[in-house]
Every structure is written in C-alpha cells, then in structure tokens.
Structure 1
Amino acid sequence: MLAAAIACGQLGPDLNGVVALSVAVRDSVEELDTLRPRAFALDGRGDSVAATILWATLDTALLKVVSETTGVMVAKQPSPTPARIQARVGDFRSNPIEIRMLAAADTLFAPGRVADTITISATTPPDSLSDSLKVELADTVTGISTPVPLAGRPVVYTITYPPTSGPVTLVTSDTAHALATLQTVSTTPAGVATVKVRLIAGPRPDSVVVTAGARRAIGTPVTSQPVSFVVRFLP
C-alpha cells in the first residue's frame, strides 16, 4: 500500500513559487529492504514545478538515507513503532510520513511431515480429510539463533496435481466442502499457516500435490522454491 502526504504553505503574490509538496511512498518496508519515495512540488495554481527535493528520516536508528537527492533509504531493523520520513524544498518541508518497519520474511519451511496417506471413507460420496499441511514463516536476518515467527503474513496454498479441478479441495475448516484449488491463509502468532486436503467428488486421484508459498513485502518470493506436500489416497 502507498502512504501519501501533502504539505502546504501560505499563498503569496508569487503563484509560481512552491506552495506544496506531494509525496507517495509504500507504507511499509522490511528489514534490509530499500524504500524509494517519490515527490513533486506544486505551485500556487496546483501545477507541478521543477524543484530540487531532498529527503531525510526523522528516525535514523530505523532508516538509513542512502541518497538525500533520490530518496533511497534502507531499513535497518524492524520496530513496533513506525519510522518517519520527510521531503523538503529549501526550508519548505512535507508533513512527516510514517513507515511501518517489518521483520524480513526470509524462510518458509514445513515443521512437520510433508507426506500424508489417508484411507477413503465408506460414505457416499466419500468424505476423507488429510492431516494439516503446515508451514512456518519466519525471520532469520535479525541474528538470533532461533528463527523469529512472523504473524499475519499471507501464505498461498495451491493444488498443482491433479491438473484438473474437481475431485479434491483445500479447506481451512473441517466442515468446509466448497471447491478451492487455491487458499490464502494468514499466519498465526506462531508464524504457522495450515490447510487440509478433502476428497469431495469425481474420480479418485492416487495422490494430490499441494505447494505453499509466500512473498515478501516487495513482492519477491520468500524462498526460491515453494514447500511441497504429497497426500496419497488408499481405497
């Protein structure tokens, strides 16, 4: 998401002078990632004008300014309180903009088994449910020996086999039956996300392959390969 701020000054007789700064920037950044804010100056008519815009942070313990002219900044560390940045033209400054400082999601792994075998139920239609397919999302950049679990981050589960939808579904509740070949699950305070595989209708596949993946705040995958699970069905 983007955060935005506009700073306005007193309108004087010179409508060609800078009277406002419009700033656009992401509202969050992960540890060791780069923040690239943008801004332009406005004159008294509301038109953009050429101006040298300089950038600063009001919280140097959280953000490092790499270039005050381009606004490139690097997040130093996560923090429960946001960092603040500011743009200026001469002595004219924008309002401080708060940036959430997030821990870096850099590892996604299965803390338990990645294979499960289930027996088809005798009901008509069959209704068989797998064990939980569990992954943990964590931060290892902080230098702590034990990975730090990350809460409230999305993990995407996808059925990759069989290639056609219908016989199986992904569920987040034991009572759910709706067809879903993709589920997005938020991690718990322990950094854990889970789904289950349910056989619902159609020809029974010998096995089902499910992948779990997550992305960092900047959109890049947390790991080069998603976590894969295999669920096998026995008659």
Structure 2
Amino acid sequence: MSITLVAVGNGGYNLASDIKNANLFTEAKLIVCDTDNQELANNAAQADASFRLDEIREAKSNLTGLVENVISQMTDTTLICATLGGQTGSIYAPLIALAAILKGKFVCSIFSMPFEFEGVRITKQAGTAKMQLITASNFAIQQNNEMLKEIGDTDIVNMNKPIVEAIKTAISCYSFIKLASANNNEIQEIIPENYRKEKEKPLIWFRSDCYRGISDKDRKEVFDSFL
C-alpha cells in the first residue's frame, strides 16, 4: 500500500517526522505544507514535495481549489498530520482532508488538541477543526495534549509518543480500511490501556467513519456546517 504523509504546519511536520522516525511507514511519501515561508523552507529539506499555502482570505470562493496542487501529489492512501488550534493546522488540515476524500482518496487524519492554558479561542478553533476533520476523513486519530499530565509525560520532545504508539498498535491489528469500517466503541480497545483509561477525556481517541455511504454533496454540507 502506497502512503502519503501530509504535514500541515510546523506541528504537523513534527508529528509526521515522529511517525516516520518510528519506522511505521518508512516508504511513505512526505508532503509538507505551510503558510510560513521560513518554516516551510526548513521542513522542505526532508520532504518529497512542499507547498506554500495561500492565506485563506485570498480565495473564499473556491476553498478546495486552494489545495488542489497538494491533492495532485497524493497517493490513494493519505495520512494528514496536524496540531489543531493554530491557524494553519486548524484551517488547512480539514480543507485538505475534504478535498482529498472528495477525490476518492482514503483519508486518515492524525491530530493533537491543544492544552487548556492555550486559551478559549485556540480551544474553540481546534474543536471546529476536529469536527471538520472527522467529517472529511475515513479514520481519525486524536491526542488530547491536556491529558499528557495524567501519564506524567509533558516533555515537549516526546509529546507525540502516545499517538505514535497508538498508531503502531492499531496498524499491527488491522488495516486502515478495516479500522475505518469498525465499530467506534470496539476500536477504542485497541488503544494501549494507559492512553485510554480516562474514559470521559482519554489521551488517545479513535474515530471510524460515521459518514461512510453518504454522498459527496452531503459530506461537504456537513463539513460546511462547522464553518
């Protein structure tokens, strides 16, 4: 299976790099996308392709058109990596996911939610992006950074360790296709126990595709309802 890792923003790049460095998808193609020229230049050195994302306000009439160049470089299975809360990840990761799934790609979104100290605006923006990603993905994997303290690990260097380990466990049990079609409650049991023990607010959470079978038009309308 040919896989593309799409890193959206610098946080997404760090997550995608940690996934590759864990030897989970060693042959995966890496695409980096950013609105920041310096971060894009820094991260592009390790990528197979890189794209400067235009400011969202510049093309309101055709949002998915903003990312067509990114979509054109993807393989049929795409893992979109982002940290939510900031502008780049929160706006563009869902948009890339939507454009990809409307093109018939299999989309797995891998993202982290912000710490509470980052504030109400960041938390709200991340929440909207999360719902859009779920709508536009076949499978979603979330890390709730606020719960890192529950396992006694808030070291920024190892911040992505839980989500990387959860991905490793998941793909050792099932294919992405099977994960996407599985019962949503059952797939939580795949997650390492210490990452899911807080049932109301687990550190790691999986979401299968509850929108499978609906039309592209309906999927887009659900996505747009979170704008």
The two structures have a TM-score, normalised by structure 2, of: 0.22
Rg bigger for which structure? 1
Per residue, is there more helix in 1 or in 2?
2
The two structures have a TM-score, normalised by structure 1, of: 0.22
